[in-house]
Structure 1
Amino acid sequence: MKKLILSLLAGMAVAFSVTGVRASEGGIPWDRFPVSRVTDMAALQNGAKLFVNYCLNCHSAAFMRYNRLRDIGLTEEQIKNNLMFATEKVGETMKVAMDAKQAKDWFGATPPDLTVIARSRASSGMGTGADYLYTYLRTYYRDETKATGWNNLAFPNVGMPNPLWELQGQRAAKYVEEKDPHDASKTHHVFAGFEQLTPGTMTQQEYDAAVADLVAFLQWMGEPEQNTRVRLGVWVLIFLAFFTLIAWRLNAAYWKDVK
């Protein structure tokens, strides 16, 4: 038993050290996405609105149909009147009107489909795909050395400009020089925060909440049945616990007279 415990502790130490290495290699640590948003219908509806207004111009969600949005509490009329800009049929998929060849010519690459983007950005020791997206959409800053005029802390040298800059405003990244703790002759540029250049239409708190809603929708879109799956799983665990109690008492009653 002692050897088993020591082995487990050693394994945990190795896991934590690997996680730390990956975090340092991958840039800034990812912020934690507020997962409660995925079960909040109002948040999902707002996320859907943000998605069709700011993402669906260039990115498609070709594996999601508009009528599936009824699962987050929207009526067919609400979907048609507020969310459908590229088609007239509510049963159509969420495709973008932009031609793929033109998009590649303009951006250098075809913008990826976002149906399962939150799931494709799976955990790499730094967090979940939702954590990455939540961090990514909140760490854009102006960088005139780039062709688009934008850069990103979570995705350095990103090719896409900030799609939500009107909401967040324009910011600059501030860096300070710090000496290398292992070599006093070397210094490093260390991120020291953002400087607001122009205001957005939202405060920082409102913008963070809006991004959380958008990421919640992207998370939901990758697996629309996840909330049902979680609720069903809870009931299954409750049933198994109850059945285990009954089986334990039946077993005790069956063997009580056996010596």
Structure 2
Amino acid sequence: MKKWIVTLFAMLPSLAMAAGANVPLDEANNDLSDQASLQNGAKLFMNYCFGCHSSQYQRYERVARDIGIPVELLKENLIFDPNAKVGDLMENAIPDKAAAKWFGATPPDLTLVARVRGVDWLYTYLRSFYEDPSRPFGVNNIVFPSVGMPHVLEELQGIPSPIYETKVIDGQEHKVVVGTESNGKGELNQEEYDDAVRDLVNFLEYSGDPVKLERHALGWWVMAFLVIFTIVVVLLKKEYWRDVH
């Protein structure tokens, strides 16, 4: 418990800056029923995020079953720890102390990040990195100013340059970063990169609420039952009180 409290207080300045950015968010338009998107998102997460961030409230086997990945394929391509089993929790091997030393704070677990931040915030955040030589990792972020992590998807997007706009703040003119533009040297073009980020965010949304689709489907059955039950009760009430009135 003490460890979590210390980590939280260490991250408060960064969280305050992130909350104060006040940047319009783009809509992720996720589709949790799209298994191809979820599978690609899982691949991106394991290859680009899992090196620093765990997803320790999920199990490999459950993820494979939910999003339609054969277990053998999961073992061969998405489980990098030779000692891990398919029934294990998805914990990475980076030591917390080393991570805190390298990044200033231990990288948070991402199982519930979509529920905490929101899918639109994540989608916009991952598309808002830009080159900034003044930062320790050479990048900054429009949504999360003074971000403390590298642009891990840079090889997919290329190196993004900031787009500035002059705005009047407190009566003075300031150059503000309002967008980014890739140098075009990434593996994906802009549209493909946006789709890849959407798949990654889609997987993170699934991670935070694996039974969301099942719960929504069950909800319709519950509503239908309540409607039918209400009709039956009303008819029964009329029949019961017919002789009285």
Structure 2 match to 1:85: 80
CA distance in 1, matches of 2:51, 2:242: 71
CA distance in 2, matches of 1:151, 1:26: 12
CA distance in 2, matches of 1:96, 1:192: 35
Residues 138-157 of structure 1 mapped to structure 2, 5 A cutoff: 138-157=127-146
Instruction: Mark the CA change 1:39 to 1:189 in structure 2 (over 3 Å): closer, same or farther.
Output: same
Residues 32-51 of structure 1 mapped to structure 2, 5 A cutoff: 32-35=27-30, 37-51=31-45
Using the TM superposition, give the Cα deviation of residue 257 of structure 1 relative to its aligned residue in structure 2, in angstroms.
4.2
CA contact (8 A) 2:59 2:89 kept: yes
Instruction: Mark the CA change 1:120 to 1:24 in structure 2 (over 3 Å): closer, same or farther.
Output: closer
Instruction: Mark the CA change 1:24 to 1:110 in structure 2 (over 3 Å): closer, same or farther.
Output: closer
Q: Number of residues paired by the alignment?
A: 226
CA distance in 2, matches of 1:230, 1:193: 36
Structure 1 stretches of 4+ moved >6 Å: none
Structure 2 match to 1:251: 237
Using the TM superposition, give the Cα deviation of residue 143 of structure 1 relative to its aligned residue in structure 2, in angstroms.
0.6
Using the TM superposition, give the Cα deviation of residue 154 of structure 1 relative to its aligned residue in structure 2, in angstroms.
0.7
CA contact (8 A) 1:27 1:153 kept: no
CA contact (8 A) 1:41 1:73 kept: yes
CA contact (8 A) 2:142 2:179 kept: no
CA distance in 2, matches of 1:41, 1:144: 39
- Percent of residue pairs identical: 48
Residues 119-130 of structure 1 mapped to structure 2, 5 A cutoff: 119-121=115-117, 129-130=118-119
Q: Which structure is higher in RCO with an 8 Å CA cutoff and minimum separation 6?
A: 2
Structure 1 match to 2:121: 132
Kindly report the root-mean-square deviation, in angstroms, between the aligned alpha carbons of the 2 structures.
Answer: 2.0
CA distance in 2, matches of 1:205, 1:219: 21
| 2:158 partner amino acid | G
CA contact (8 A) 1:80 1:88 kept: no
Structure 2 match to 1:76: 71
TM-score under structure 2 length normalisation = 0.84
Other structure's SS at 1:173 match = strand
TM-score under structure 1 length normalisation = 0.80
Instruction: Mark the CA change 1:42 to 1:177 in structure 2 (over 3 Å): closer, same or farther.
Output: same
Q: Deviations over 1:137-161 (max 9, x none)?
A: 1111111111110000110000101
Using the TM superposition, give the Cα deviation of residue 176 of structure 1 relative to its aligned residue in structure 2, in angstroms.
2.3
Is 2:49 aligned against 1:59?
no
Using the TM superposition, give the Cα deviation of residue 85 of structure 1 relative to its aligned residue in structure 2, in angstroms.
0.5
Is 2:224 aligned against 1:241?
no
Using the TM superposition, give the Cα deviation of residue 89 of structure 1 relative to its aligned residue in structure 2, in angstroms.
1.1
Instruction: Mark the CA change 1:242 to 1:143 in structure 2 (over 3 Å): closer, same or farther.
Output: same
CA contact (8 A) 1:171 1:196 kept: yes
